[in-house]
Amino acid sequence: MASNTDFDLFTTSEEHEELRAMLREVVADKIAPAAAEVDEQGVFPQVAYDALRQVDLQAPHVAEEYDGVGLDALGTCIVIEEVARGCASSSLIPAVNKLGSMPVILAGSEEVRRRYLPPMARGEAMFSYGLSEREAGSDTAGMRTRARREGDDWILNGTKAWITNAGVSEFYTVLAVSDPDGRRGANVTAFVVEKGDEGFGFSEPERKLGIKGSPTRELHLDNVRIGDDRRVGEVGDGLKIALRTLDHTRITIGAQAVGIAQGALDAAVAYVKERKQFGKAIAEFQGMQFMLADMAMELEVARQMVYVAAAKSERGDADLPFFGAAAKCFASDMAMKVTTDAVQALGGAGYTKDFPVERMMRDAKITQIYEGTNQVQRLVMARQLLKG
């Protein structure tokens, strides 16, 4: 689906739009109706996972040679966007499957790829990403988790924090310091840890503001022994692989933000056309029209930024780090503003759980934080500019 023409950066193919139309039906029928209950009860959206598996879109980025459907980066973004439009928690299923498995795709041996990508592509397992720690969030090189070589095995010890879908996923890409005396940033190695590995466990789920249907837990590694055949990439290349991963996957957070904002705008437009004050629908007031116009304008700018970044991801363009960071940063800031304005448009009703916009506002906030805070995204962009 990818194209090298500048014009096609700003269009979607017929296949992309057919994908979108099909997903709209799936989301409307299966995913969106369960979103409020998922949020209220804080439970994993199993109905959404099952619905996505039925159409082979729980991990749409996986190539056909590994039993996947082989969607390009833009197609994967459209999947995440459309699911997020109905339920942000559910959109983290395809998004985090890509995040967790991208190191394997980028740097894993063929043996590792054959072992772990097909089960995820078939909907038999999910994949999470273990990079952050309590004292090593933005400062990833400051991680304390250790991997010690012992013969043909590695012994992993440490704790990873804020891990999305932890406890539900079967597979985890975990980054650990493999050479404590080595050069900072060049002493980290990536591994695949399996849920059933001895010594591997989870904390209780975090109590969160939003995305409550996506469990967030710590990973606890207590002398977890794994073979060298589960190493991803070369020894010492872990952080390089992790940062390359984020160049590709932070675009999916931009797509999630666009979807959340679109859902909020849809709800706001529907409400203001029905709500009456002073004898007429509040949609007829110019102040409301200006608010809606600004919401839609900023949403469309963000969508185009995400789609352009996705095209660059597909081609592996050299300027992907800038465009990926820009798309994620702008789209998530936009989503926070649009969802807040949607609550405002609904007035007192928007502040209640009877309408979805308060949930969408809470869900939008995390898009400014995970996969690199927006302050870090601005650092990434500035460094790219200064490098010329």
CB 158 within 8 A of CB 147: no
Residue whose tokens read 């650092």: 379
φ, ψ dihedrals at 133, nearest 5°: -135, 165
Active site members: 371
Q: Which amino acid is at 263?
A: G
Strand partners, 164: 216
Instruction: Output DSSP code: residue 205.
Output: P
Report the alpha-carbon distance of residue 76 to residue 113 in Å, rounded: 19
Rg of the Cα trace of the chain? 21
Residue with tokens 């710590």: 218
Give the pair of three-digit tokens for residue 305. Answer: 């930024």
What CA–CA distance (Å, rounded) separates 131 from 314?
24
How far apart, in whole angstroms, are the C-alpha atoms of residue 149 and residue 123?
A: 33
Q: How many CB atoms lie within 10 A of CB 357?
A: 27
Q: How far apart are CA 75 and CA 16, in angstroms?
A: 6
Percent of the chain as helix, strand, coil, to the nearest 5: 60, 15, 25
Q: What is the DSSP secondary-structure string of 42-60? A: T---HHHHHHHHHTT-SST
Backbone φ and ψ for 184, nearest 5 degrees, come out as -55, 130
Q: Which of these, 99, 149, 130, lies nearest to 201 by C-alpha position?
A: 130
